[in-house]
Amino acid sequence: MLRSQSKENDRLSKTLAQTVQQLKEIQTQSGQIAVENEVLKLRLRELSTLYPKLVNEIRNLKINPKRAESISTTSINAEKRITTMLRDSVIHDTIPVKVFSYKDNYYTVNGVAYDSTQEVKIHYQDTLVQAVYRGNREKPWLWIFSPRKLQQRVTLKNPNARITYSEFIQIQRRKSK
């Protein structure tokens, strides 16, 4: 019993060390930048202790936390600088427009108008939450004899954003004979 408790403590300390680990940037074969980090393996009790907001997100997606297989959150930041030519307009001719800015929880837009050009800087920040869980049964009329299908739910925090594509692939290992 002491050995199993010691192994459990070692596993938890390793898990806590992984939580503070930073993302590591790698370059893909196509030249794009990707990030990677280690996958945490937590029990539901540990998840609710260390990440209570994630458990609330699972419940918010109308998923029983006991059925969740995995959950991931991804924070997204996008920034783009745009420079374009200005055309003559009534506003530009009568009212000198030089600088504008807009900011809310997800977008920051700043713009500066030079002679005939305009430079716009757009910064977008969002968080993606994905939960994989054991959902509906494959054959509901067989009740407990039918296995549950793995399903995923994905949401963005920004109410203006829409998810156009999401895919989760579970790779199963071949069982040795």
Least confident span in 1-5, 17-21, 139-143: 17-21
pLDDT of residue 136: 81
| DSSP letter string, 102-127 | EE-SSEEEEEEEETTEEEEEEEEEEE
User: Are the C-beta atoms of residues 154 and 73 closer than 8 Å to each other?
Assistant: no
Highest mean pLDDT among 60-64, 103-107, 135-139, 167-171: 60-64
Question: What φ, ψ does residue 68 adopt, rounded to 5°?
Answer: -70, 135
Half-sphere exposure of 67 (CA within 13 A, CB side): 18
| DSSP letter string, 39-97 | PP---HHHHHHH-HHHHHHHHHTT--GGGEEEEEEEEEEEEEEEEEE----HHHHHS--
User: Are the C-beta atoms of residues 151 and 136 closer than 8 Å to each other?
Assistant: yes
d(CA 126, CA 107): 9
What is the pLDDT averaged over residues 30-54? 77
CA distances to 72, 93, 125, 130, 173 from 75, in Å? 10, 42, 7, 11, 30
d(CA 63, CA 131): 9
Whether the pLDDT of residue 89 is over 60: the answer is: no
d(CA 159, CA 138): 32
Which percentage of the chain shows pLDDT scores above 90?
2
The model scores a pTM over 0.85: no
What is the pLDDT averaged over residues 120-139? 84
Whether the pLDDT of residue 128 is over 60: the answer is: yes
Q: Which residues contact 137 (CB under 8 A, 6 or more apart)?
A: 143, 146, 147, 148, 149
pLDDT of residue 161: 78
According to DSSP, residue 129 is labeled E
Per the document, the length of the chain is 177
pLDDT of residue 10: 78
153: how many CB neighbours lie within 10 A of its CB?
19
Q: How confident is the model at residue 59 (pLDDT cuts 50, 70, 90)?
A: very high
Whether the pLDDT of residue 21 is over 60: the answer is: no
